[in-house]
Structure 1
Amino acid sequence: MSESKLIRLGTFDAERSWRPSGLATLPAVRSPDGDRVVAAMDELLAVLCGPDDLLITGSTLPDSFIGVLAGAGIAPRYRPAPPAGIDEDPHLTVEQRLLHAPPGDLAGYGLAPYAVLPETASLIRVCGLRADPPEVDVVRRVSSKTWSNGLVRTMGLRGAGTVARSVPELLAQVKQLGTATAVIKDPYGVAGRGTIAVSSPRMLSTVARILQGQVDQGAAVELLVQPHYDRAADFSAQIHVTEDGEIRWHGIRLMQNAEFSYTGSRPIPAALEQRLAQSGYRELISGVGAALAAEGYRGPVCVDSMLLRDGALVPVLEINPRVSMGLISLALERRLAGPGTTARLSVRTLLLPEPSTSSRVFDRLTTVLDERGALLRAGRPGLLPLTAGTLRPPRGRLYYAVVARSQEEDRLLDETMGEALDMMGRQPTEVSHAP
């Protein structure tokens, strides 16, 4: 077995497994459609795979999807995880399914998971994999916004919030902010889930009432309270903390968000890159990596940051000790963008016509793009759908790469994507455009 061969797999809702039981939850509408989309996002990990790597996904991938990625130069080996048994929970993660029916031919592979879960250590042992991940309790601790907020205070950085551990504390801290809008965050929330912007006393009262009802049933309160920042730019730094505590720098990506939901990543503008270099941003992020190493963490890290409209920098807004969309976007840039071109990752949430299936939607979309000469091939600009399983009607999500030689070509390619989706009868709900 080659030492370079890796298994990649992952559960993109890792924060759910890290979240301690017994914590009160913020009011939210949970969508079964959203859960199905998240379950299929492991297809994005193909971008990180080398040709000898094995990507194990939660569902069988359509041959057409494998072919489209191969045409762009992304051609790892693929395998679906063993199916859940008749008497087992159909929502088992890939890791749990592998543990329930461990394949006998994985010994000697390295393991590069999306995130370290409670099952990761057992999976390594049972399947004979090569990996030395951090303890899951360490990952759980440093993934908490409570921990990262404490680090921000220790480092003396702008952007520290306060942690409320009771409903009265929450009410007092929001009032003390004195701003028109306060942001309340679950310590293990992600990508807009578990975050509420409170802009009125009535709304705050509703949140408090729902939380108090859970407290009365025995739940504990742990919430981060921050002001609602007037942001000019969202961006993230991608690093890797090695087993020896060394900090390896991957890069920075500009993030596009709709409210608190992620809609894309792209290269940062030169002016922002210069601004960050002058502010010592990279050194600050290295300090974050050192703090994570001191806690016992090793692995990929994404640090979310922002630039405010008044010119102030909030260097550490959140810390994600796992693979991130920013890291996937950087991998796209390095794999697909040649001289004179750039690559970005974009996301559209869609209402798709029924009846259909995700594979049929993918096939129709890629056929239309190919007919228009816009489907990306290796060494050429174009559009590359990066997932198929997330396109399940009625409400799906399209993740795709845009590789272009100019901002104008980027804009035209995005228009082509919109026209292709219109031909399929979709209704857009959220769109990430080029600037």
Structure 2
Amino acid sequence: MRVLPDNFNTRLKSALVGTADASLVFLGNFEVEGQWAIGELGLRGIALETGRAVVNRMDEFALLLATETDHVVLKQDPDEGYLGYLADLGLELPRIIIPGRQDPHRVVTEDALADPATITRLAQLANEGCWLSPHGVSTLEEQLAGRSGLRLAAPGAAICKAVNSKIYSRRLADELGLRQAPGWACDTPAELDEAVAGARALLAVDRKVVVKDAFGVSGKGIAVIETEDRLGRLHRMIARRAAEQRRVGLVVEEWVPKAADLNYQFTVSRAGAVRIDFVKQALTDGGVHKGHRFPVSLTAAQLDELGEAAQRIGGRLAGDGYFGVVGVDALVDPEGGLFPLVEINARNNMSTYQALVQATFAGAGKVALARHYVLRLRTELAFDDLRRLLHGVMIDRNTECGLLVNNFATVNAAGAVRGASTERSFDGRLYGMVVARSSDELTALDDEITARLAVV
């Protein structure tokens, strides 16, 4: 009998399908919130075409969540140099499935659905007992499972959408008695009217308020309000749009002061057991996620409070039919108190894709920073050229500290929608995890990587 390692991959399989030796087909359909938001009245905007193309190539993160017994559906073949680099690090690589044609503006699920050969291959895997494990489940992933015969290693789209609404998060915090910012959950225009009246009272005493789309993500669908005039304009705009639907999907809250943003992840099994995976400091800018820093500097009492919150939140999610990965955003106030539930992301999170490499390369005695770097490019960049540029500051078999690249596809993704012109530059994103022995060394490495990438 094969002895399986105790790592995040095997623990995840046990939670999702009940056995650690299952074979999963991973699908990196990032920003699934866009599908959940269809038909909902909120603030969420439309991503720029180039931005959408980059987000869609975040599918490559799934390579580092899988092992050699798994499969990953990707929009395009990974750079051969990048695959060689991962193999050089001793990482297990899954088998890769590439649809016959990809559209940069489509999520990977849509590419798979549009390709009969991919459906046929997935049907073969279904016959072999494989399961489909998406980043998050919308009706698109349900269609892919239905057409291929793959069983979903996740709840259905209706449950996933329901528990990911910020309205659900706010009402759950109320139900569980968890501390949260003063505010209101709004399903109807009447509830929004009440929330706006309360927000006006906050503004009148020089407090800021924030209006959040129920399915906003990555800084989209959020408005910070500091004046009654702006609040009134926003209220009138939403009221006009809601005249026929008679419903909205918004949360209105006081913008509370904070000392740190946190993100903690736990996993809910099919049987309802809750296991906390990790707590990290989330790095944000204007509500946009920029990365994570870990280990986090929290007291034992703060960690215990988050652990208790995870058990209670996870138990409620299980009662509502959800199982799988859960990421929760939280805050530390300037006095050290916690807001343990700001919002729930009941899907894979950025930290989920760091779990295997974090355990291998950023264990005890290490500090790490997971982030992305922006590269200004005129032509596509090969991974081997990047590796030469960052020689000496990248993790390899001979070094314990440096940058580990965990997504290279996003570097060249925006170039795919530039057109034929070579005169226009484009921004690429390089995702990675910087590992060091101390905070000072971590800062120095990050600065050196940033400086080298500035002259690419």
TM-score by length of 1: 0.87
| Contact 1:185–1:195 (CA under 8 A) maintained in structure 2 | yes
In the alignment, the residues of structure 2 paired with residue 194 and residue 412 of structure 1 have an alpha-carbon distance, to the nearest angstrom, of 35
Alignment of 1:161-176 (within 5 A): 161-164=183-186, 165-166=188-189, 168-176=193-201
In the alignment, the residues of structure 1 paired with residue 57 and residue 147 of structure 2 have an alpha-carbon distance, to the nearest angstrom, of 25
- Can you give the 5+ residue segments of structure 2 that lack an aligned partner in the other structure? 3-20, 416-425
Cross-structure match for 1:405 = 437
2:312 equivalent to 1:295: no
In the alignment, the residues of structure 2 paired with residue 239 and residue 339 of structure 1 have an alpha-carbon distance, to the nearest angstrom, of 20
1:54-96 Cα deviation digits (max 9, x unpaired):
22112221112212222223341343431458xxx87443223
Alpha-carbon spacing, 1:137–1:281, altered in 2? closer, same or farther (3 Å)? same
1:37-61 Cα deviation digits (max 9, x unpaired):
1101111122212133222112221
Alignment of 1:413-432 (within 5 A): 413-424=445-456
Alpha-carbon spacing, 1:137–1:27, altered in 2? closer, same or farther (3 Å)? closer
Q: Secondary structure at the match of 2:139?
A: coil
| Contact 1:376–1:382 (CA under 8 A) maintained in structure 2 | yes
Residue 327 of structure 1 aligns to which amino acid in structure 2? T
Alpha-carbon spacing, 1:28–1:189, altered in 2? closer, same or farther (3 Å)? same
Cross-structure match for 1:317 = 342
* Alignment equivalent of 2:409, drawn from 375, 386, 389: 389
In the alignment, the residues of structure 1 paired with residue 99 and residue 198 of structure 2 have an alpha-carbon distance, to the nearest angstrom, of 48
| Contact 2:209–2:226 (CA under 8 A) maintained in structure 1 | yes
Cross-structure match for 1:151 = 172
Alignment of 1:1-400 (within 5 A): 3-21=21-39, 23-26=40-43, 28=45, 30-84=47-101, 91-100=105-114, 101=116, 102-104=119-121, 105-107=124-126, 108-159=129-180, 161-164=183-186, 165-166=188-189, 168-178=193-203, 179-216=206-243, 220-270=247-297, 272-278=298-304, 280-348=305-373, 350=374, 352-354=376-378, 356-357=379-380, 360=381, 362-370=383-391, 373-378=392-397, 380-392=400-412, 393=415, 394-400=426-432
Residue 396 of structure 1 aligns to which amino acid in structure 2? G
Question: Offset at 1:191?
Answer: 1.9
1:12-44 Cα deviation digits (max 9, x unpaired):
1111111240x3332757322221111011111
| Contact 2:63–2:94 (CA under 8 A) maintained in structure 1 | no
Q: Secondary structure at the match of 1:231?
A: coil
Question: Offset at 1:163?
Answer: 2.0
| Contact 1:362–1:388 (CA under 8 A) maintained in structure 2 | yes
1:225-250 Cα deviation digits (max 9, x unpaired):
11111111111221111111111221
- Can you give the 5+ residue segments of structure 1 that lack an aligned partner in the other structure? 425-435
Alpha-carbon spacing, 1:201–1:363, altered in 2? closer, same or farther (3 Å)? farther
Residue 302 of structure 2 aligns to which amino acid in structure 1? L
In the alignment, the residues of structure 1 paired with residue 321 and residue 50 of structure 2 have an alpha-carbon distance, to the nearest angstrom, of 36
Alpha-carbon spacing, 1:180–1:29, altered in 2? closer, same or farther (3 Å)? farther
Q: Secondary structure at the match of 1:303?
A: strand
| Contact 2:375–2:430 (CA under 8 A) maintained in structure 1 | no
Alpha-carbon spacing, 1:228–1:60, altered in 2? closer, same or farther (3 Å)? same
In the alignment, the residues of structure 2 paired with residue 56 and residue 42 of structure 1 have an alpha-carbon distance, to the nearest angstrom, of 8
**Sequence identity percentage:** 28
The farther-off stretch of 144-153 and 120-129 is 120-129
In the alignment, the residues of structure 2 paired with residue 338 and residue 27 of structure 1 have an alpha-carbon distance, to the nearest angstrom, of 38
Residue 7 of structure 1 aligns to which amino acid in structure 2? V
Alpha-carbon spacing, 1:177–1:413, altered in 2? closer, same or farther (3 Å)? same
| Contact 2:68–2:93 (CA under 8 A) maintained in structure 1 | yes
Cross-structure match for 2:423 = none
| Contact 1:332–1:343 (CA under 8 A) maintained in structure 2 | no
1:297-339 Cα deviation digits (max 9, x unpaired):
1111111111111332100000011010122334332122255
1:117-156 Cα deviation digits (max 9, x unpaired):
2133443344343544212111111110111111111111
| Contact 2:62–2:353 (CA under 8 A) maintained in structure 1 | yes
In the alignment, the residues of structure 2 paired with residue 131 and residue 195 of structure 1 have an alpha-carbon distance, to the nearest angstrom, of 32
Q: Secondary structure at the match of 1:133?
A: coil
Question: Offset at 1:273?
Answer: 4.1
| Contact 1:304–1:315 (CA under 8 A) maintained in structure 2 | yes
Alpha-carbon spacing, 1:283–1:128, altered in 2? closer, same or farther (3 Å)? same
Question: Offset at 1:366?
Answer: 2.2
The farther-off stretch of 243-252 and 53-62 is 53-62
CA RMSD between the two structures: 2.5
In the alignment, the residues of structure 1 paired with residue 377 and residue 142 of structure 2 have an alpha-carbon distance, to the nearest angstrom, of 42
